[in-house]
Amino acid sequence: MANKVKEAWRSGRAVVNGWLAIPNGFSAEMYAQAGWDSVTVDMQHGIQDYLSCIACFQGMQPHGVTPLVRVPWNEPGIIGKVLDGGAYGVICPMVNNAEQARNLVAYCKYPPQGTRSNGPIRAGIYGEGGSYQKTANDEILVIPMIETSEALDQLEAILDVPGIDAIYVGPSDLGLSLGLPPKLDREETNILKIYERLIRECDKRGIAVGLHNGTAAYAKRMIGMGFKLVTISNEVGLMVAAARAAVREARG
Amino acid sequence: MANKVKEAWRSGRAVVNGWLAIPNGFSAEMYAQAGWDSVTVDMQHGIQDYLSCIACFQGMQPHGVTPLVRVPWNEPGIIGKVLDGGAYGVICPMVNNAEQARNLVAYCKYPPQGTRSNGPIRAGIYGEGGSYQKTANDEILVIPMIETSEALDQLEAILDVPGIDAIYVGPSDLGLSLGLPPKLDREETNILKIYERLIRECDKRGIAVGLHNGTAAYAKRMIGMGFKLVTISNEVGLMVAAARAAVREARG
Amino acid sequence: MANKVKEAWRSGRAVVNGWLAIPNGFSAEMYAQAGWDSVTVDMQHGIQDYLSCIACFQGMQPHGVTPLVRVPWNEPGIIGKVLDGGAYGVICPMVNNAEQARNLVAYCKYPPQGTRSNGPIRAGIYGEGGSYQKTANDEILVIPMIETSEALDQLEAILDVPGIDAIYVGPSDLGLSLGLPPKLDREETNILKIYERLIRECDKRGIAVGLHNGTAAYAKRMIGMGFKLVTISNEVGLMVAAARAAVREARG
Amino acid sequence: MANKVKEAWRSGRAVVNGWLAIPNGFSAEMYAQAGWDSVTVDMQHGIQDYLSCIACFQGMQPHGVTPLVRVPWNEPGIIGKVLDGGAYGVICPMVNNAEQARNLVAYCKYPPQGTRSNGPIRAGIYGEGGSYQKTANDEILVIPMIETSEALDQLEAILDVPGIDAIYVGPSDLGLSLGLPPKLDREETNILKIYERLIRECDKRGIAVGLHNGTAAYAKRMIGMGFKLVTISNEVGLMVAAARAAVREARG
Amino acid sequence: MANKVKEAWRSGRAVVNGWLAIPNGFSAEMYAQAGWDSVTVDMQHGIQDYLSCIACFQGMQPHGVTPLVRVPWNEPGIIGKVLDGGAYGVICPMVNNAEQARNLVAYCKYPPQGTRSNGPIRAGIYGEGGSYQKTANDEILVIPMIETSEALDQLEAILDVPGIDAIYVGPSDLGLSLGLPPKLDREETNILKIYERLIRECDKRGIAVGLHNGTAAYAKRMIGMGFKLVTISNEVGLMVAAARAAVREARG
Amino acid sequence: MANKVKEAWRSGRAVVNGWLAIPNGFSAEMYAQAGWDSVTVDMQHGIQDYLSCIACFQGMQPHGVTPLVRVPWNEPGIIGKVLDGGAYGVICPMVNNAEQARNLVAYCKYPPQGTRSNGPIRAGIYGEGGSYQKTANDEILVIPMIETSEALDQLEAILDVPGIDAIYVGPSDLGLSLGLPPKLDREETNILKIYERLIRECDKRGIAVGLHNGTAAYAKRMIGMGFKLVTISNEVGLMVAAARAAVREARG
């Protein structure tokens, strides 16, 4: 059950990540065929819950994208459930200090590295011959979100927690935390400097940096800056934008 | 419960119609805010059933689009159910002769014009003070699809059936029926002549003509040709196309 | 698997029947505890489909009510499915002549009386030791709706079809068919005379007569007139009426 | 996105609140038309989860009632999700001291007042032109439940936490906590004195007091006593009571 | 989109077919990994509807089994929907004469061989580069059920209808039709002679014969007799039998 | 609402427990008829959430099995919800010390023994005449899982917490925690000694010991050793094993 995102990172390549807010397996299935490296079910701000996440995973599975989840909160119950359900990685919101990061790692890994409970009911499919439990601690991505000023203050301590594979930046929350309006694709100099610092500190430690983007053009720039995982809007955002444009054009 | 599509047609305006294949109320809710005049739940080729249709209607309702349904077949059970569920119009596939058209009208209208059974459980919401049943026969759109060579042979007889408000053209099936490959946005001369004939015959009778289109550009041209209801792809098609373009751009 | 409705009728007692429009097993479960003899899932005008019907049946089962279904149409596919799913009886809309009545009977009964296909996947639960198929033809209620002027014209022929256990009267559709407004709890003399005729003709043949009522008071009167199955509104109608009254009272 | 409950309170008017235990959008949609000012989805004791809450919100939306949620627990994951899903207010059980109250406020408000994460995926609908985030901290109601003796001991400290708009009293739990049987519509003198104290202390601080009631008559009395938000039973309770009464009446 | 069942038949091999009555994608996903050649969603007697069929197809897809459906009835609406949803073949109950067989073929095939409407919304996934419609008429299996004495009387006429790939025998209904009790794994001499006749007549025409079996042992014998598709019970039957055996053994 | 598991234990009998991973009421309904004393909905590692748990409970209810839940985590929100939904007992993973055990007891019991909130919306069904709340503290089973080396270190302290009815052993997690591979039906001497110690310490205190088993044969042995609740695999595991065996046998 090699994790293709990890493979991409080992070869120095950035991954392009999809994002699912619509709680439906058919929608996920069609979207997963658009060329993404990985697709994340957003259980925090998307209209998703645990069973819709499973349905989205089932829809994605034949299409070769790595299934990730953004969990609603840093809580062991739901993290265990989505991993058992087949997530290859967990993006966790609002990780603001080393203790929270250590908890996240513990929830994601089997003993002795962590406290995850055994029972990979769907995830076991991925491993031939019961091999899942042997490789999961190495293959599952642990990805705390860095999106507050507190997290920036604690950055090095967070990044030094063993077991973190990547961090993920939420530009809206980061902005709110710094007293700026919530939005994506930011151009404020201080924000861009933060991005540079994040990349620098992560690069030192072999940790990838991910970013949520509003547009493909900005995502491309951010790959150039050193981000290794870029998300572009989400499926419903792309759909509504395309629909608006189509209506406008048809009406002339 | 005035039907806004009928109002548009009375004022000579063409309506731009959305199309739903994803069986989810949230998806429908977001899509319904993109500017469409009407949105059709596609129960024939979409991944939709009766309860998902209701969920889509609920999602759409606050956003002022007229709810339509394409039923899977010309069958009284399901036609009655979607009308009771709140459809302002029924697009019915494969209506190939006058008898089928008469049946369709009968299924859509209360006595004495038809045989629809009373019980507008959600649709009754639209009418203040129990007025729904008084206006439904006038306001509900009856829209047979003309999409086979047999239907073209029987065109005048079909159009002369009292109670037909519009016809809807399925270019893929029409092509298949004529020995051509199934596709939208057709440029074959004989197809375009058929479109002209349809518009001409319908115009004589005060019947609107609708067309399923693949692109907004083609839809705009067809409005110019005289079509009064144009659909542009469907929500999942727009989403996947937008996703493909975003991935490509981000990858450079 | 004795059918308690049949038992009641054999002892001369009228049954009080509930009616479900909300597609939810919990709602059905609570409602089923209110004292009904039987509860009908309304797949014609209710917001119900096949799987919601199964969920409602599961909710009802511990509470001793006889599960019935009103199917959306006189069609063998759905009739077979609801019987396999555990219905003890089928109320079928718009049965207007003897041929339609014979079809309905055939869809509801195993050979040689009918053409029902074997496979009572949930219904088999009711019978201990595989006995279901032996008693189903006797225990399952076949109940055509008499609700059009055509059906009144064909009444004797319909009632003479072997295998009919009861008829069910839809006052709204009957009214519409006779050029009257659609409503329940009717007081028109000609309607009441029709009711008397229905009861008289059915009594001759040992067939019960059911009626959909808007209020309990009217239902009680109709029991007095000879109706043997009375439905009172539906669960959502009772709920909304109670809610309106509560709001009004609280506001003073 | 003005919150109509806040508007009512500013004008001194008490609001009459509905309560949803049935996890179904259609049921919610019909119930929402009964005249309520606000309707609360009960995720604690109702048969509700996150996606059913969204479905209920969609059903309510066209009917002008303010959507509230009682969350299952004072936990940031689910509070964030229901606010993003469109709740105008959060009723939170078992808030027993000032720290718990501060946490609740923090989970409900964007920085700098709190720690809510940005992403109002459905809630954003309410605000035209991206205005939601600017007004949410002011418009979203934060409503801790006061329902234990510990909470009464800590009352002033709880009420002094900035950001609390109202409190909500659960009479059953309050009774249990005081060694009394769990029930609504209580007449014990010491309970009524507690109610008076709650209203007095809240009035001082411009905080509204809400109460869960079993009957409209009691709710009306409580409005007279100074409660500003009264709930009457829930939809399933009203339905079953109405059904019992109807069965009894029909049977004579 | 080569159909693996057809490939097996071309190489003279019998296929072992699974059968799904539980309307759940996870259940289907696990069951599909047990070694079946094909798995059929039973929409006639199983607790399945259209959307649960899609969910089962999604669960099966990564595991290399050919997805088939038994439709509830020989009706063009649902047949079109399941084919668009991705079925590689349709098993249709109660095909009793050549006209019904011709209708079935017509519903399953695009013009000019039939009247299927274009729109393979999920099925299109199978074909690379829009190739689905070019191969579907050849690859989709059309499988009428032969399960009544009428069908036996009309056997040759049914088998001579162009476009039939296989027939499927329902032993319970066949028994009922012949006045025998409904059961599987029959040993009556006259039934076994019927099986031999079916195989003989089908072999002449290059048509495969399938059979529903209760046990693997009987299925194996029937492969030996010449059946080319054998189903063994269904997933819920196997589960309950295994559970009963486990309980008994644990209790000693 | 006598709890049959408690009754069995009082009479010295071991109970055989089923386990549900498939989120479907029909599947649960059929499985519940296989002879189990109790059936547990596994919300931790099963594909289950709160509403699927309710659906499973509804399916089980007529069949006389005691409904239990394994919750995803020791968290008051979900524990309250499943108890209100009708669970007769809560199995809670990863209870590693006395404080966690005390919390678990508190979440499960009404005051004064605990802090459970009143509102047994489905559970109230079990009690005639509002008696549920009077007996729930006595009848509801509180069952912490002992499955880590930390829990073994704290065993006596955990067992001394008042209100614990049983413990449940997860052999896979216990193994992982001790540096052994995760599996059921263990034969390591040190594990078997741990089992003996657990039984000895629990017997002293009148606490039952439960175990998750892979096979009925091992479960039977463990009853002999003194376990009082034995689970055998889960429904999907039994189903897939039976399906594999059937395919193998049919293929010869």
Shortest CA gap F133–chain D (Å) = 8
Question: CA-CA distances (angstroms) from residue E229 to B124, E91, F131?
Answer: 50, 12, 56
Determine the pLDDT at residue C70: 98
Query: Are E236 and E244 contacting, i.e. CB atoms less than 8 angstroms apart?
Result: no
Check C75 against E78: CB less than 8 A apart: no
Q: How far apart are CA E199 and CA E139, in angstroms?
A: 22
Question: Over the stretch E42-52, which tens digit does the pLDDT of each residue have?
Answer: 999 999 999 99
- pLDDT for residue B131: 87
pLDDT surpassing 80 at residue B2: no
The stretch F128-143 carries a mean pLDDT of 88
Is residue C13 helix, strand or coil? coil
CB–CB contacts below 8 A, A to D: 60
C53/chain B closest Cα distance in angstroms: 12
D157 has a pLDDT exceeding 80:
yes
Mean of per-residue pLDDT scores for chain A:
96
DSSP state of E161: S
- Are D116 and D80 spatial neighbours (Cβ–Cβ below 8 Å)? yes
How many structural domains compose chain A? Answer: 1
Question: Would you call D58 and B59 a contact, using CB atoms and an 8 Å cutoff?
Answer: yes
Best residue in F58, F60, F65, F81 for a mutation probing chain C (most C CBs within 10 Å): F58
> Nearest CB to A50: which of F49, F176, F236?
F49
Question: What are the residues of chain C with a beta carbon less than 8 Å away from any beta carbon of chain B?
Answer: 21, 23, 44-47, 49, 52, 71-73, 75, 78, 93-94, 147-148, 170, 172-173, 176-177, 179, 181-182, 236
Contacts of A76 in chain F (CB under 8 A): 73
3-state secondary structure of D109: coil
Residue C181 vs residues B111, B136, E150: alpha-carbon distances, Å: 11, 13, 47
Distance from CA of B106 to the nearest CA of E (A): 19
- pLDDT band of residue E163 (cuts 50, 70, 90) is very high
**Residues of chain A contacting F182 with CB distance shorter than 8 Å:** 110, 118, 133
What is the three-class DSSP state of D40?
strand
Closest approach of B238 to chain A, Cα-based (Å): 6
Tokens of D73: 């627990």
Q: Which residues pair with A200 in a beta bridge?
A: none
Minimal-distance CA residue of chain D relative to C249 = D216
Q: Give D35-93 pLDDT, tens digit per residue.
A: 999 999 999 999 999 999 999 999 999 999 999 999 999 999 999 999 999 999 999 99
Say if residue C1's pLDDT is above 70.
no
Model confidence at D244: pLDDT above 60: yes
Q: CA B31 from chain center: how many Å?
A: 17
pLDDT for B125: 78
How far does D250 lie from chain B, in Å, by closest CA? Answer: 23
Residue E74 distance to chain B (closest CA, Å): 13
Choose among B25, B122, B125: nearest Cβ to D58: B25
What is the Cα–Cα distance from F244 to F233, expressed in whole angstroms?
A: 16
Nearest to E54 by CA among A24, B74, A21: A24
Q: What is the pTM of this model?
A: 0.98
Residue of F nearest to C123 (CA): F30
Q: Which of E80, E110, E121 lies closest to B47 in CB terms?
A: E121
Name the catalytic one among F24, F25, F45, F58.
Answer: F45
For residue D47, what are the domain limits? Answer: 4-251
Instruction: Cite the active site residues of E.
Output: 45
Q: Which chains touch B (3 or more CB pairs under 8 A)?
A: A, C, D, E
- Judge whether residue E128 has pLDDT over 60: no
**Tens digits of per-residue pLDDT, E17-66?**
999 999 999 999 999 999 999 999 999 999 999 999 999 999 999 999 99
Contact state of E58 with A25 under an 8 Å Cβ cutoff: yes
Contacts of F203 (CB under 8 A, 6+ apart): F226
- Nearest Cα neighbor of A164 from A143, A148, A181, A180 is A143
Dist CA A228 CA A15 (whole Å): 6
Identify the chains in contact with A, defined as 3+ C-beta pairs within 8 A. B, D, E, F
- Closest residue in chain D to residue B54, using alpha carbons only: D26
Instruction: Identify the contact set of chain A against chain F, taking CB-CB distances under 8 A.
Output: 49-51, 54, 75-78, 80-81, 84-85, 110-112, 115, 117-122, 133
Closest residue of C to F60, CA-based? C58
User: Most D CBs within 10 Å: which of C52, C236, C244, C248, as the mutation test of the D interface?
Assistant: C236
Mean pLDDT of D4-19: 97
Does F25 contact C62 at a Cβ distance shorter than 8 Å? Answer: no
B97-128 confidence digits (pLDDT tens): 999 999 999 999 999 999 999 999 999 877 65
Q: Report whether pLDDT(D131) > 90.
A: no
Side chain identity at E85, as an amino acid letter?
A: G
* pLDDT tens sequence across C115-125: 999 999 999 87
pLDDT of amino acid F128: 57
Measure the CA–CA gap between B50 and C50, rounded to whole angstroms. 10
* pLDDT per position as a tens digit, F190-223: 999 999 999 999 999 999 999 999 999 999 999 9
Task: In whole angstroms, give the CA distance from residue F117 to residue F84.
Answer: 9
Cβ F46 vs Cβ F20: under 8 Å:
yes
How sure is the predictor about C160, in pLDDT bands with cuts at 50, 70 and 90?
A: very high
Confidence grade of residue C128 (pLDDT, cut at 50, 70, 90): low
Do the chains contact at E80 and B73, CB–CB below 8 Å? yes
Chains contacting F (3+ CB pairs below 8 angstroms): A, C, D, E
Name the band, by pLDDT with cuts 50, 70 and 90, for residue C64.
very high
Residue of A nearest to B13 (CA): A251
- When CB atoms are compared, the residue of E49, E72, E182 closest to C118 is E182
Preferred mutation among D75, D117, D131 to probe A, highest tally of A CBs within 10 A: D117
C93 contacts on B by Cβ (under 8 Å): 117
**Quick one: pLDDT at residue D2?**
78
Q: Which helix (H) or strand (E) holds A141?
A: strand A141-146
Supply the pLDDT for residue B127.
61
Round to whole Å and give the CA distance between A219 and A36. Answer: 13
Beta carbons of C58 and F29 less than 8 Å apart: yes
C-alpha distance from E78 to closest chain C C-alpha (Å): 10
Q: What is the pLDDT of residue A78?
A: 98
| CA distance, residue B107 to nearest chain A CA (Å) | 31
CA distance F29 to D246: 32
pLDDT reported for residue A162: 98
Alpha helices in chain F (DSSP H): 4-10, 25-31, 50-60, 76-84, 98-108, 132-139, 149-153, 155-159, 171-177, 189-205, 216-225, 235-251
| Chain E residues close to F217, C-beta within 8 Å | 249
Give the DSSP per-residue string, chain B. ---HHHHHHHTTPPEEEEEE-S--HHHHHHHTTSS-SEEEEETTTSS--HHHHHHHHHHHGGGTPEEEEE-SSS-HHHHHHHHHTT-SEEEES---SHHHHHHHHHHHS-TTT--PPS--TTGGGGSGGG-HHHHHHHHSEEEEEE-SHHHHHTHHHHHTSTT--EEEE-HHHHHHHTTS---SS---HHHHHHHHHHHHHHHHHT-EEEEEESSHHHHHHHHHHT-SEEEES-HHHHHHHHHHHHHHHHH-
Task: Tell me which chain F residue has its CA closest to the CA of residue C56.
Answer: F58
In this prediction, residue A129 has a pLDDT band, given cuts at 50, 70 and 90, of low
For E63-117, write each residue's pLDDT tens digit. 999 999 999 999 999 999 999 999 999 999 999 999 999 999 999 999 999 999 9
Interface of E with B (CB under 8 A): 49-51, 54, 75-78, 80-81, 84-85, 110-112, 115, 117-122, 133
Average pLDDT over residues B134-151: 96
Query: Taking an 8 Å Cβ-Cβ cutoff, which residues of chain D contact chain B?
Result: 25-26, 29, 33, 54-55, 58-59, 61-62, 122, 125
pLDDT recorded at residue A127: 61
Q: In this complex, do A29 and E122 lie within 8 Å of one another by their Cβ atoms?
A: yes
- Would the CB atoms of F47 and E31 count as touching at under 8 Å? no
Percent of the residues in chain D that have a pLDDT greater than 90, as a whole number: 96
| Banded model confidence at residue B129, pLDDT cuts 50, 70, 90 | low
Cα–Cα separations (whole angstroms), residue D228 to D15, D157, D161, D207, F10: 6, 21, 20, 9, 51
* Chain D closest-CA separation from residue C39 CA (Å): 12
CB neighbours of residue C201 within 10 Å: 17
The pLDDT value recorded for residue F125 is: 78
Look at residue F23 and give its three-state secondary structure: coil
User: pLDDT of F38-63, one tens digit each?
Assistant: 999 999 999 999 999 999 999 999 99
Looking at chain E, which residue has its C-alpha nearest residue C123?
Answer: E45
Q: Which residue has the tokens 């009407």?
A: B38
Q: Which residue numbers of D are catalytic?
A: 45
Per-residue pLDDT, averaged over A78-86, amounts to: 98
Contact residues for D204 (Cβ-Cβ < 8 A; gap 6+): none
Instruction: Quick: pLDDT tens for B213-245.
Output: 999 999 999 999 999 999 999 999 999 999 999
How confident is the model at residue E131, as a pLDDT?
Answer: 86
pLDDT surpassing 80 at residue F130: no
**What CATH number did the domain enclosing A113 receive?**
3.20.20.60
Residues 6+ apart with CB under 8 A from A202: A159, A166, A167, A208, A209
Mean pLDDT of F218-242: 98
Q: With touching defined as 3+ CB pairs under 8 A, do chains B and F touch?
A: no
Q: What's residue D1's pLDDT?
A: 64
How much is the ipTM here?
0.97
